[in-house]
Amino acid sequence: MKGLKFVLSLVVCALTLGMGTACCQEAPAKLKTRNVVLIVCDGLRWQEVFTGADKELITTDHGGSWAKPETLQKAWWRNTAEERRAALFSFLWTTVSTHGQIFGNQTKGSIAHVTNPYAFSYPGYNEMLTGAPDPRINSNEFGPNPNTTVFEWLNDSAEFRNKVSVFATWETFKDIFNQPRSHLDVHVGWEIPYTAANLTPREETINELFKTTTRLDEEDLYDSFLQLPLLDYVKAKHPRVLFVGYGEADNWAHSGRYDLVLESAHGFDYFVEQLWNLLQTLPEYRDQTTFIITADHGRGSGPEEWKEHGNEQKGSENIWLAVMGPDTRPLGERVNAAAVTQSQIAATLAAFLGRDYAAANPKAAPPLKEVLP
C-alpha cells in the first residue's frame, strides 16, 4: 500500500509540474534580509581597493601630493598588496571580506564593469539604480531622470512606502532620483540638515558648520558632514531601504591630490564601518541588514590618467562591488569569477527584499545570483 501511495504521489506531482506549478521543486530559501543599504564611493578605483596605494603616485610629483613622500609611505605603503589594501580599507578587508563577497580584482580574474558607454557619474548612477544604461543620459547636467529607480519602485509599494531614503554629498542626486516625481526622502548637498523647531546644541552646531564652512564645491558636501546627520536620521527614522553616496574621493582625484584621495578613501571605509556598527546595535537592523558597496565608475591608470575618467580614459569602465549580509555566503574575495555588471545592482537590491525588479522592468539586468541564497 505504501508503495502504491508513493507511486501515486509521483504521478500527481508530475501532472502538477506539467501544469506549471513546481510542487516538487525545493521551496525558495527564506530571506533573513529586511533592510538594504546601497553605499557608493564616487570614482574610487578598483586598483586602490584591491592593491592599496600606488607607489608611483605617493613617491613622485605625479600624485600632486602636498604631504611628503616619506609621510605617505609610512601611512600607506606596505610590502604586499594584501597589506597595503588592509591599511587603506581595514573594515572592507576584515569584516566585509570575512562575512561577505568582493568582486572586481582584475589581477585575480574577477571583473566588475559598467555597461553604459560613458563611465562617469550620472550615467553610472542611473545604470545601477534602474538596472539598465540609458544612452540619452550623457551629461551630469542631464536634469530629472526619466527612468524609475528601484528606490522609487519600492517606495511605491505599501510595504516600503516612506521607508526609502537617500543621503548623498552630491546635489545632483535630486535629479538622479527625480525627487519631485518619486517623493523620496532625499538629503543631499549643502542643505541644512536639522530643521525642527527645537534643536539640540549639537544639532545647532552642525547646522552652523553647514552655513559657515568654506566650500570646495557648491554642489558637493564633504563626506564627514554627511555622516553625522545620516547616523542621527537612521536612529530616528529607521529606513528599510537606504542609499548613501560619498563623493570626496572623486573630487580630490579631479583636483590631482592623491594624498587626499587616500585619506578620503580611508575615511570612507571608516564611515561604512561606523554605519554598520550602529545598525548592529539597533534591533530593527541587527542580523537582518545587507550592505551593497560599490563605485559609480572607475578611472584611468597612469601618471596623469588617474585624475580623470570617461570613455577617453581606458579602464574607467571597471568598478568593484562588495556585498555583506545575513543571506550572502561568506566567500570573501572572488577569484576567477564570472564578470558582474553595475546594471545587476538594482535587481539584486530588490531580490534581497523578496521583490522581482527585473520582472517589473524588462530592461533591467538580472540579479547577481552569487550573493543571494
pLDDT at position 11: 41
Span of 11-15, 143-147, 274-278, 319-323 with lowest mean pLDDT: 11-15
Percentage of residues in the chain with pLDDT exceeding 70? Answer: 92
- Whether the per-residue pLDDT at 5 is higher than 50: the answer is no
Average pLDDT of the chain to the nearest whole number? 93
- At CA 316, angle to CA 186 and CA 352, rounded to 5? 45
Global pTM value: 0.92
Q: Which domains are seen in the chain, by residue range?
A: 34-371 (3.40.720.10)
Radius of gyration for the chain, computed over Cα atoms and rounded to the nearest angstrom = 22
- Whether the per-residue pLDDT at 4 is higher than 80: the answer is no
pLDDT at position 291: 99
Q: Where are the alpha helices (DSSP H) in the chain?
A: 2-18, 46-51, 55-59, 69-76, 81-88, 97-99, 121-130, 150-155, 173-176, 179-182, 201-212, 223-237, 248-254, 258-281, 345-352, 357-360
Mean pLDDT throughout 352-371?
97
Contact predicate 215/8, CB 8 Å: no
Instruction: List all residues 6 or more positions away from 116 whose beta carbon is below 8 Å from its beta carbon.
Output: 123, 124, 126, 127, 133, 134, 135, 137, 342
Closest by CA position to 263, among listed 123, 126, 72, 129 = 72
- At CA 191, angle to CA 270 and CA 140, rounded to 5? 80
Helix, strand, coil fractions of the chain, as percent rounded to 5:
45, 15, 45
CA distance 124 to 142: 13
pLDDT digits (tens, 9 = 90+) for 42-54: 999 999 999 999 9
Instruction: List all residues 6 or more positions away from 145 whose beta carbon is below 8 Å from its beta carbon.
Output: 126, 130, 137, 175, 176, 177, 178
Mean pLDDT throughout 337-355?
98
